[in-house]
């Protein structure tokens, strides 16, 4: 190399350097191409990785952190307590019942007596009804003063304003007083028909039988519901609510052959909410036969077609009639 002409030697050195630099650039480009093919990164992935930090990779279709824990507003649940409950089949749907004990301000009705009655009633109802009732027993704090006279003055309209937005289907209020005699007085309010039953009263002869007498009065006040599935002439086919849930020893609260029911229409909005409830006057359904939850009834009415008409957004229901007084023959 040293013997070459200086100009030739410089030319060879320049060509060698250019060749080496070209090889280095080609090698670097090949390495980067292989790396890019093995781990392609899109702008969307870069954004996700930047937000998730060191989060473990997820497979395709696997929900992200926000999808795994959807946020449910508490107000939506509070405003729609019947959303899931109303999906239960009618014959398997239990009653949600509130038992409210209104104690008079009598010295003999001590705190121990009140707690004992509330506890024993809870055990008795749970053991008898099982899943047929989803119930709660409370001490009443709004009936003031807690007397039979004030209890009787409560109208169906007032009770609707108080309990319409609650989750309970039925409210049974029992007044307990011991001014002259130990007495139980009560009524039942039904949300489905928006009606209040007649006032019933029982005198407790033996204080030790207080729980039995209170339970018997609750049974007497309870008015079961049935849905009218079809009508043809003077015959109607009904289905009793929750009747498939009862044990044999609980049959006294079921509809029985010979019972009378009063029908009512429930008019619904497009959203399925109750717009209006209308009772059918001068019309009764008499239970002729029953097989578990299915009832066959005779329609007794003063009208030619009391239960006919359009069924669009209309529910046709019936509730057991509880006579307040013995029958009268004219």
Output the pLDDT for position 47.
44
Pairing of strands 95-103, 133-139: parallel
Q: Specify the pLDDT at position 247.
A: 62
Q: What is the pLDDT of residues 46-88, one digit of tens each?
A: 443 444 444 444 444 444 433 333 333 333 334 555 658 888 9
Task: In whole angstroms, give the CA distance from residue 318 to residue 301.
Answer: 14
Confidence at residue 329, expressed as pLDDT on a 0 to 100 scale: 72
Rounded to two decimals, what is the model's pTM?
A: 0.73
| Tokens of residue 240, six digits | 């009793």
User: Domains, the chain, ranges and CATH?
Assistant: 86-221 (3.40.50), 225-320 (2.40.10.410)
| % of the chain residues with pLDDT over 70 | 71
């Amino acid at each position: 190399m040293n013997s070459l002409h200086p100009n030739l030697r410089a030319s060879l050195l320049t060509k060698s350097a250019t060749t080496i630099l070209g090889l280095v650039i080609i090698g670097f480009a090949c390495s980067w191409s292989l790396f890019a093919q093995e781990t392609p990164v899109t702008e969307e992935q870069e954004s996700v990785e930047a937000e998730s930090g060191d989060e473990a990779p997820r497979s395709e279709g696997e929900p992200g952190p926000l999808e795994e824990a959807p946020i449910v507003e508490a107000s939506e649940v509070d405003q729609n307590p019947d959303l899931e409950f109303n999906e239960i089949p009618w014959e398997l749907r239990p009653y949600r019942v509130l038992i409210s004990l209104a104690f008079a301000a009598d010295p003999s009705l001590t705190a121990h007596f009140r707690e004992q009655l509330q506890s024993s009633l809870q055990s008795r109802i749970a053991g008898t009804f099982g899943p047929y009732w989803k119930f709660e027993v409370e001490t009443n704090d709004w009936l003031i003063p807690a007397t039979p006279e004030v209890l009787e003055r409560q109208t169906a309209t007032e009770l609707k304003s108080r309990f319409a937005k609650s989750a309970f289907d039925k409210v049974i209020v029992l007044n307990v007083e011991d001014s002259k005699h130990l007495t139980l007085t009560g009524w039942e309010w039904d949300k489905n028909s928006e009606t209040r039953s007649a006032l019933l009263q029982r005198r407790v002869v033996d204080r030790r039988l207080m729980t039995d007498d209170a339970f018997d009065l609750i049974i007497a006040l309870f008015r079961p519901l049935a849905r009218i599935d079809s009508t043809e002439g003077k015959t109607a086919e009904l289905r009793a609510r929750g009747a498939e849930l009862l044990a044999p020893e609980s049959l006294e609260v079921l509809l029985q052959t010979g019972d009378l029911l009063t029908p009512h229409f429930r008019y619904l909005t497009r959203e399925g909410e109750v717009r209006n409830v209308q009772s059918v006057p001068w019309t009764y359904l008499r239970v002729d036969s029953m097989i578990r939850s299915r009832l066959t009834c005779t329609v007794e009415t003063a009208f030619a077609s009391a239960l006919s008409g359009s069924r669009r957004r209309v529910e046709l229901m019936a509730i057991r009639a509880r006579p307040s007084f013995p029958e009268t023959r004219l």
